[in-house]
Amino acid sequence: MRGRGGGSGEKPPEIEWEASEVVKKSVPRSPAGEVSGKTTAIRRENPKKDQHELNLDVVDRAAATKKPVMLFFAKAGNKDSLTMEKLVFGQNGIVEFAKNFHAVKVDSDAVDGAILKRYRVRSAPTVVFLDYQGNIVSLLAGKVTPKKLQAAMAAVVAKNKKLPPEKGPVVARAEPEEEKEEK
């Protein structure tokens, strides 16, 4: 296999999944508010739709870091999910490129159905890419090739970089040069 590690005793490359499951209920957080190895489904009011919207807390982390999100929805024991995990996500180029993302592996059987609906997941495996604002940018359903996955990852990273900055508090700016000279 070209592009994979694993020669004489080497461990093949693996994606470092930020979280590996989505739980239906909140999990205890550390004093700093961190959850290790898990991401939780949280309900938020959506002012635009006048209703509650179910989302994943990884979206909040993405907003803070301005990194996009890659959600890998898989089913335990599913042949295509296993192939994607071992052969596609095990490629050196994919592993390296995944460092540009908040990568979360989701067990499709264990997650709240509202999450599947929110992210338009109809089957496993499915890879859903979100920009740092939580919007779906791309969706790849079924088993995909490493080349197709890497192309999608590159497109998502490029699009994420072009997002306009979010409106936030006004930041004080340095005084113009002319004013500095007068003082």
**Residue 100 DSSP label:** G
Collapsing DSSP to helix, strand or coil, 146 comes out as helix
Characterize 89-101 residue by residue with b for buried, 16 or more Cβ atoms within 10 angstroms of its Cβ, and e for exposed.
Answer: bbbeebbebbebb
Distance CA 41, CA 25 (A): 7
**Model confidence pLDDT, tens digit, residues 115-142:** 888 899 999 999 999 998 889 999 999 9
Which of 22-26, 162-166, 174-178 is the most confident on average? 162-166
**Model confidence pLDDT, tens digit, residues 86-120:** 889 988 889 998 999 999 998 888 888 888 888 99
**Sequence-ordered list of residues with C-beta below 8 angstroms from that of 174, at least 6 positions apart, any chain:** none
Domains, the chain, ordered by start = 19-182 (3.40.30.10)
pTM above 0.85, yes or no: no
